[in-house]
Amino acid sequence: MTQPEAINSGVQLSDAEKREIANLQALGRDLATQLYVCLKTASFYDPRNDNFKKQISKFLDLLHVATDHESHLSITDVDGYLFLNDQRLKIKLDGYLAAKYLQSQFENLGVAGMEFSVKTELEELEKAFSQVVRSDLKVRNAENLNDYFRGLEIKNIKFIPSLTIDDCRDDDDDESERTSAKKTFFQALSVVQQVMGGFAQQKKRNTNFFKAKRAIHGIIDEIIKNESYMLELTVLRNYDQYTYKHSVNVSVFAVALGIRLGLSKARLAELGFAALFHDFGKTRIPIDLLNKPESFNALDWSKMHEHPIYGAKALAQAFPMDSHTARAMLVAFEHHKNIDGTGYPYINRARPMNLFSRIVSMCDYFDAVTSGRVYSKKPMPLDQVIMQMIKQAKVKFDPYLLKVLINIIGIYPVGSLLLLDTGELALVVANNMNDIFRPDVRILADTRGKKEQTPVVQLTEYDRENEKYVRNVVHLVDPEKYGIDISEYILES
């Protein structure tokens, strides 16, 4: 038996080669992280600040180690992946923030990345970092920035142009990325619908199985490219088939979490697949029960409690036996279990809850309570959700995994309505990876009433002169309470 992860490549690397790649990977991650630290420190501190200088010289040290092999060193973002020269960096949990920050910085600057020559000096770095974050060039792109640097006599640091030559790339690019995210999400939705809606009519060839895998691959690629567009789509609640929408949502959360953990692509695919079909057992529960507007009685519950076992069995029957199906069976069975062994179904089984089940059960709970189905008939206010989950972290959820999840969804998840200290009412549209207390929001209204234009602003926006943030969160507002349907703002550009 081969491990799920071992894909037979037919070509073997020698141990020395593997070690070298591993070293290069570690060095690349350190460099990317340090670049992030430098850029971040530069945006907060004066260039004369000691801490800033310390970070810069640390970066230079790393650069010197790395340029032992090469004369130039570049860090670039290619389709959501970070590259050190031509080697792709495999980002792990602790490097994730740095990587995403760099990618967003590069995007803001309109470049693909930065290149440092072996001859780079400390002074140049100081100048470069403090200027990059401050420069108020109108059109930001590699050409302009390189001109600007030349003016500052920075010779050994260059910007690498983006592949998109488009000058007004911002909107169009966002637009196409949004469309692409939406397409991927909806495609997954369509696949779940086909598979769960009519799994009895499985054709001879395992079309559904392949389609589902492809849909998951799409989700993974899309989340790597832009996590927040996919997360935003989970907030759309007005889909007529709750279970299918919920399945895709859970899959999106689970994959996002898996990416943070640094799971390999092969395992991410299994995770996404398992999450997508965690409620496969609901195909047997009558639709009237699923959609019952009143609270469930004891009989209803006992029917509902059958879905994990039925799910595991039905998956075994519906799909060919491979690691995806096996994963999905375990997750379907365990997703209502708690890490302390309680939960349902109650059968005699001495196995600790599987990693994927731990992930999915959390994502499942989060999506279910926020959408106001199954657990309670009304969505739980978002500030309650995370607190509830933390409260249950000893019994129900794995606290460390929960911490990762909170870092993905943020303290104010996408779709939250916030009252700001500016007297504005704002809708959270994206979590900010670097500061989960300060998401990106769309300003919906102020004391004068609803806004015609609803601009997106970052709550990290900092007023340097007055040394304070431009906007602060006062508290969450429950949209249900005021009958506000947030879906009209989702995916609005």
Partner 1 sequence: MQTDTKVIEEQAEREIYEGLSDFLNVFSKGIKTSLIYPPDNPIPREFKKSCWNKLHQHIQEFGLIEFEVHASSFMLNGETIHESRTREGNLPHVLHRDGIRRLMFKETITQIEWEQFFDDILTVMRAGEDYEDLVNLFWQRDFGSIDYDVVEDFSLAEIEDGFSAPEQQEVEYSEIILSESQVETKNALDALLDGSEKELAGLSEDDDFLGIFRNIQEFGPSEKAYLEDLMAADGELIIEFESIELLLDILLSEDELGNFDESLLTLDNMFDKMLDSEQFPLLVYLIQGMKKCYAELQKKSGPRADKFKDSLARVGDRIRISRITNLLNSSEWQDFDGIRLYLEELEWKSMPSLIWMLGELNNFPARKMVIEALINKGRDRIEIIGNAIHDSRWYVVRNAVLILGEIGDNKGLSYMRKALEHFDERVRWEAVVAVEKLASKSDLKILIPYLKDESERIRHKVIEMFSQNRYDPAFEAIQEIVKSSQFNGMGFEEQKNLLKALAFTGGDNALPVLKKIVKKRSFFSARASQKKKEAAVLAISLIETEDAWKLIEEAANKKKGPLANLAQLILDKKGRVAADRNTEGD
Closest approach of Fe ion to the CB of residue 223, in Å: 19
The residue range among 83-91, 276-284, 292-300, 319-327 that interacts with Fe ion, by the rule CB under 5 A, is 276-284
Closest approach of partner 1 to the CB of residue 187, in Å: 5
Q: Which is nearer to Fe ion, 7 or 287 (CB)?
A: 287
Bridge pairing between strands 449-450 and 462-463: unpaired
End-to-end CA distance of the chain: give it in Å, rounded.
50
The encoded tokens of residue 407 equal 């870092």
**399 touches, from Fe ion, partner 1, none (C-beta below 5 to 8 Å by class):** partner 1
Closest approach of partner 1 to the CB of residue 491, in Å: 11
**What is the largest distance, in Å, between two alpha-carbon atoms of the chain?**
77
Closest approach of partner 1 to the CB of residue 310, in Å: 9
Q: Which is nearer to partner 1, 164 or 179 (CB)?
A: 179
Q: Which is nearer to partner 1, 300 or 435 (CB)?
A: 435
Closest approach of partner 1 to the CB of residue 206, in Å: 6
**375 touches, from Fe ion, partner 1, none (C-beta below 5 to 8 Å by class):** none
Task: Enumerate the H helices of 427-484 as residue ranges.
Answer: 479-482
Integer-rounded Cα Rg, in Å, for the chain is 24
The encoded tokens of residue 164 equal 């998109």
For Fe ion, the binding residues in 325-384 under the rule CB under 5 A are 364
Closest approach of partner 1 to the CB of residue 188, in Å: 10
Q: Which is nearer to Fe ion, 329 or 459 (CB)?
A: 329
Sign, CA torsion 475/478/483/486: positive
Q: Which is nearer to Fe ion, 33 or 234 (CB)?
A: 234
Task: Give the residue, chosen from 227, 232, 270, 279, that forms a contact with Fe ion under the rule CB under 5 A.
Answer: 279
E strand or H helix that includes residue 224? helix 207-225
Exposed, middle or buried by CB within 10 Å (0-12, 13-18, 19+), for 46?
Answer: exposed
Q: Which is nearer to partner 1, 286 or 423 (CB)?
A: 423
308 upstream amide cis, omega within 30 of 0? no
**49 touches, from partner 1, Fe ion, none (C-beta below 5 to 8 Å by class):** none
Q: Which is nearer to Fe ion, 45 or 344 (CB)?
A: 344
The type of residue at 456 is V
222 touches Fe ion by CB under 5 A? no
Neighbours of 429 (CB within 10 A): 25
Closest approach of partner 1 to the CB of residue 80, in Å: 13
To which residue do tokens 């089940």 refer?
357
With beta carbons less than 8 A apart as the criterion, state whether 228 and 261 touch: no
To which residue do tokens 């050190």 refer?
84
Closest approach of partner 1 to the CB of residue 12, in Å: 10
Nearest to 475 by CA among 418, 422, 427: 418
**323 touches, from Fe ion, partner 1, none (C-beta below 5 to 8 Å by class):** partner 1
Q: Which is nearer to partner 1, 62 or 330 (CB)?
A: 330
**279 touches, from partner 1, Fe ion, none (C-beta below 5 to 8 Å by class):** Fe ion
Please name the residues in contact with 165: beta carbons below 8 A apart, sequence gap of 6 or more: none
What are the residues facing 72 on neighbouring strands?
117
Q: How far apart are CA 26 and CA 241, in angstroms?
A: 45
The site for Fe ion, by CB under 5 A, has a size of 2
Contact residues: Fe ion, CB under 5 A = 279, 364
